[in-house]
Amino acid sequence: MRRLINLQPNRVLKVALGIIPFLLILLAYQIGSDIRKAENEQDKLLPSFSEIAAGINRMAFEPSRRTGDYEFWEDTKSSVKRLSIGIAISATIGLLVGLAAGAIPMIAAPLSPLITAISLIPPMAILPVLFIVFGLGELSKVMLIVIGVSPFLIRDILQRTQELPREQLVKAQTLGGNSWQIILRVILPQIVPRLLDAVRLSLGAAWLFLIAAEAIAATDGLGYRIFLVRRYMSMDIILPYVVWITFLAFTLDWCLLKFSRVVFPWYHAEK
C-alpha cells in the first residue's frame, strides 16, 4: 500500500471529485427547500429551482414592465463597466507609481510611507466623502474601486520591482543602458505579468467595493438589484444574481490568467 501522501487522483477522478462538492450543495439546497415548502407553500427563503428559473426568466428574458429593459443584462452591463473602468484606472496608477517608486529610490523615499498610510484607510469609511465630493453618479463608484484597490497595487508593484535581481540591473548598466532605457526595456516588460497577477488578486476587493457602492447609491447594477429586491425577500432573484456575479468574477480572473500565459510564456515557465 502506497503512502496516502503519494496517491494522486488521475484526470477523470480529479474532475469528478471536484464536481462532487457542488452537487452536494445543490442537493442539500433541494432538500432544505423541500422541507420548508412542505411546511409552508409560500416560503420565500429557499425557493425551489423552478421558482429560481422563473425569476431568471423574468429578469433576463422578459422586458421590465416599468422600463421596458431587460434588467438582468442592463445590470450586468453597468456593473461590469464600472468594475472594468475602476480596475483599469487602478492598474494604470499601480503600474506607473509602483514602477517609478520601485525603480527610483528618490521617488520611493517620499512616496512609500504615504502609500502605506493611505492603504490603511478603510475605503468604505471614506465612501461618504466620495459621495459628497463626486456626487452619486458613476464617478463615485469607480473612485471607490480606485481608492480601494490602487494602494494595494502600488505596494505590490513597488515590491515586485525591487525584487527583480539586482544583477540584471547591473548587467543592463554594463550594456550601456541609462535609467530610462533600463526601466523601459528591462523592468517594465518584467513587471507587466506581475501586474496581471496583482490585478487578479485584487479582483475580489474590487467586486466588494463595487457592490457596496451600488447597494448604497445607484439606479442599476447587480449590487443595486440584489439590495433592492431584498425588500421583497426575493431570494429567487438574489440567488441567481449571486451565482452570476461569482461566474463573472471567475471568468474575468480566468481571462486574465489565460492572457498572461499567452503573452508572457517566459514568466509562467520561470515560476
Partner 1 sequence: MSAFIQLDRLAKNYGDNVVLENLNCKVAEGEFVTLVGASGCGKSTFLKLLLGTESVSSGQLLMAGKPIEQEPSPDRGIVFQRYSVFPHLNVRENVALGVEFVESKWLGRLFGKRRKEALAQADELLSAVGLEQARYKYPHELSGGMQQRLALAQALIKRPKVLLLDEPFGALDPGIRKEMHDLVLGLWRQYGLTIFMVTHDLKEGFHLGTRLWVFDKIRHDPHAPDRFGSTITYDLSLQSKDKALTIAAIDEINAQLHGAEKTTEPTQS
Distance of alpha carbon 28 from alpha carbon 265, whole angstroms: 42
Is 180 a binding residue for partner 1 by CB under 8 A? The answer is: yes
**Contacts to partner 1 from residues 4-33, by CB under 8 A:** none
3-state secondary structure of 43: coil
Site string for partner 1, 238-267 (x = CB under 8 A): --------------------------xxxx
Query: Are 133 and 146 a contacting pair, CB within 8 Å?
Result: no
Our finding on whether 269 is near partner 1 (CB under 8 A) is: yes
Q: Which residues of 132-169 are buried (b: 16+ CB within 10 A; e: fewer)?
A: eeeeeebebbbbbbbbbbbbbbbbbbbebbeebeeeeb
Q: Return d(Cα 86, Cα 233) in angstroms, integer.
A: 30
Please identify, using beta-carbon distances, which residue of 84 and 173 lies nearer to partner 1.
173
> Which lies closer to partner 1 via its Cβ, residue 113 or residue 189?
189
78-112 burial, b at 16+ Cβ within 10 Å, e below that, comes to bbeebbebbbebbbebbbebbbbbbbeeeebeebb
Nearer to partner 1, 188 or 249 (CB): 188
* 48 or 162: CB nearest partner 1: 162
Quick check: 171 binds partner 1 (CB under 8 A)? yes
Question: CB under 8 A: which stretch of 11-19, 53-61, 139-147, 177-185 binds partner 1?
Answer: 177-185
Residues of the shown chain interacting with partner 1 in the complex, contacts defined by CB under 8 A: 165, 167-168, 170-178, 180-182, 184-186, 189-190, 264-267, 269-270
